[in-house]
Amino acid sequence: MIPVEDRRAIVANLDEARAAGSRLAPACELIGVDPRTIQRWRRENGLELGDRRPHADRPKPMHALSDAEREEILEVANSDRFADVPPARIVPALADEGRYIASESSFYRVLRDADQVRHRGRSKAPERRKPPSTHTATAPNELWTWDMTYLPASVVGRWFYLYLILDVFSRKIVGFEVHDTDASEHAAHLLKRTALAEGIAARKQGPVLHGDNGATLKGTTVLAMMHWLGVKPSYSRPRVSNDNAFVESLFRTAKYRPEYPTRPFATLDEARAWAARFVRWYNTEHRHSGIRYVTPEQRHSGHDVEILTQRHRTYEAARAANPRRWSGRTRDWSVIDTVTLNPERADIELTSEQQPISRTVA
């Protein structure tokens, strides 16, 4: 609905355009108003009274539900028999008895008017989960994620436990340990050793460490170690398995490697030896698809910029040598400057210390 003031302004502009020689149809098309609308405004005094639809007299339809029928709907819906049943089940049940009061949509409309459209029954209404913890990294050692996975032992019912810390920005495994027990002390020791190896104490701001809600990673010993090291804790939502996707993907890579043993580990030393070989391969040989197929070690040390720059130059030279083979740009070898954990919020803002430095390939 167009207000009276806007109608008058539109008509004044049209009159000015027509006085200058313009035709009505092209002028109306330019403004976005149909010519018949202008004619109706002039004919029905629409420039003085405005839109009369809000004040129109709308008589009640002859087939509308009567007050008695609306009361019957509420009475049936609130009866002991149907108090915990939605209209979608009330209407078929009544139909089986040869009884029709109103349609399902009418039931909903009457209940809505009575402010009774809500979850019915004893079962809990669906919960709206809070958004996941979202963190952004623009350099190594700003965002870590960790978890623990089980490694099978040769003794039935026994497991070895692989604790692992992953740098989200570089995908480098910055710390790992394998133990024969599941305890918070092992997690705290791994965190301390990793922080010392990565020089966290010399940084102005410690990394964010994201983990699941398991008791091992949330123990008092672990929290005290985080506080002492200046590491900020972050946790996944309860009963949500995909809030820690980076490290879960890493565990899948580990257990689907050809070198992963087909038989359970016989001893703790055997499990530790396999873990050491896997970490060495992953960090120094594995070209990760999420970081333009450089190794995590190369990205963690900053050598990925030079490597990707050289790849870009190689492709540009190949296109220059055979331009007919290239219909567009060469493959994207630009450096990924920002990595986000759980990027589900549209209002992610980087702090002043996290503003990405341009590392694109020239």
pLDDT in tens, 167-181: 999 999 999 999 999
Of 160 and 203, the structure prediction assigns the larger pLDDT to 160
Alpha-carbon distance of 360 to 345, in angstroms, equals 25
Alpha-carbon distance of 119 to 32, in angstroms, equals 45
Cite the residue boundaries of each domain of the chain with CATH code 3.30.420.10: 135-291
Could you tell me the pTM of the whole model?
Answer: 0.63
Q: What is the DSSP letter of 208?
A: E
pLDDT band at 359 (very low <50, low <70, confident <90, very high): low
Strands (E), 62-205: 135-137, 143-152, 159-167, 173-179
* Most confident among 36-45, 132-141, 159-168, 218-227 (mean pLDDT): 159-168
Q: Are 150 and 161 in contact (CB under 8 A)?
A: yes
User: Is it true that domain 135-291 has CATH number 3.20.190.10?
Assistant: no
